[in-house]
Amino acid sequence: MALRSLDNALAATAQERPKRHPKVAMSMQKQSEQVLGGVNDENVAPLPPPPPAAADAAVDYISSENLKPITDPEIKIRGLIEGLGSKDWLKVCEALNNARRFALYHSTLLLPIIDNVMVVLVKAMKNPRSALCKTSIMASSDIFQAFGDNLLVSTTSDAFDNMLLQLLLKASQDKKFVCEEADRALNTMVVSMTPLPLLHKLRASASHANPRIRAKAATSVSHCLSKMEIEGMKEYGLVSLIQKAADLLNDRLPEAREAARSIVTLMYKALTESEEEKQEAWQSFCQSNLPAIDALAIVKIVPK
């Protein structure tokens, strides 16, 4: 009797247990149909997109020397903005390379729309696709080379400042090939532009809250100073320069500290070039404009 009761209980439990196999089979069927494109069921999670590495590898990084002039540039300039605004990132890469060609060979046609182009450059630099990011950085380098100081005259302040900030940020990130390209673009910027107005543009970034941006901006400041005579430094402000160098000398990043030492050395050479008592004049300048502990640290940098 006990065994018969146990059998009856097991049979009842088996009848009450829900059957899951059909549901699983239906789910697998829906997934299969989705892969084949037969059914578009919003309740079925979409498959993840393919990794971008393969597509990124298909993008050609064309050096500036290998870019060619555009045939019929007056006609093709009309479609440049449309190409830059495409939702297909590969077409945007192609348009960016065309923008580079316009900058290098047909700059007068590109200048009226340079603000719009720079907005696209900044947007592309923020894109997670490395190929798009690198191509936009290469385009910024060619634009610096082609326009130089005209960028500060012919563009809005925000357009230039946003592009500069993104280049400083990309130059300080972990992806080596993007970082190196951004460094090259910043160097081209310094070479192509007059140092004094560029120093004013770099002022805010040299005090940026992000230490990596601050370090890259400090390096660009030192490169600008290497192109300046004492008159240019005085026009910018010697006191501001030495105070900024003192701040950077205490920065936590080695790159910022190295830039500070470079700034100090360049200022010392420019200030004491015509002074007979070089060390005394330098010490007097530092002690007059810095706290005692900072002045001592600055004075120790230059040779006695």
Q: Where are the domains of the chain?
A: 66-193, 227-304
Structure tokens at 150: 């005209």
| Cα 164 to Cα 105, 206, 267, distances in angstroms | 23, 12, 25
Could you tell me the CATH superfamily of domain 66-193?
Leucine-rich Repeat Variant (1.25.10.10)
Residue 127: pLDDT above 70? Answer: yes
Furthest-apart CA pair in the chain: how many Å? 120
CA distance 40 to 26: 14
Q: Could you report the per-residue pLDDT of 35-67, keeping only the tens digit for each?
A: 333 444 434 444 444 444 444 556 778 999 999
Contact 110, 76 (CB under 8 A): no
pLDDT digits (tens, 9 = 90+) for 247-292: 999 999 999 999 999 999 999 999 887 666 677 889 999 999 999 9
Which amino acid would we find at residue 133?
Answer: C
CA 265/CA 300 separation, integer angstroms: 11
**Confidence at residue 280, expressed as pLDDT on a 0 to 100 scale:** 85
Measured CA to CA, the distance from residue 157 to residue 216 in angstroms comes to 20
Average pLDDT, the chain: 84
- Rounded Cα gap, residues 61 and 59, in angstroms: 6
Closest CA to 152 of 202, 187, 98, 104: 202
Measure Cα distances from 166 to 98, 125, 161, 169, 287 in Å.
Answer: 21, 7, 9, 5, 37
| Matching residue, tokens 């009848």 | 15
Cα 271 to chain center, whole Å?
Answer: 34
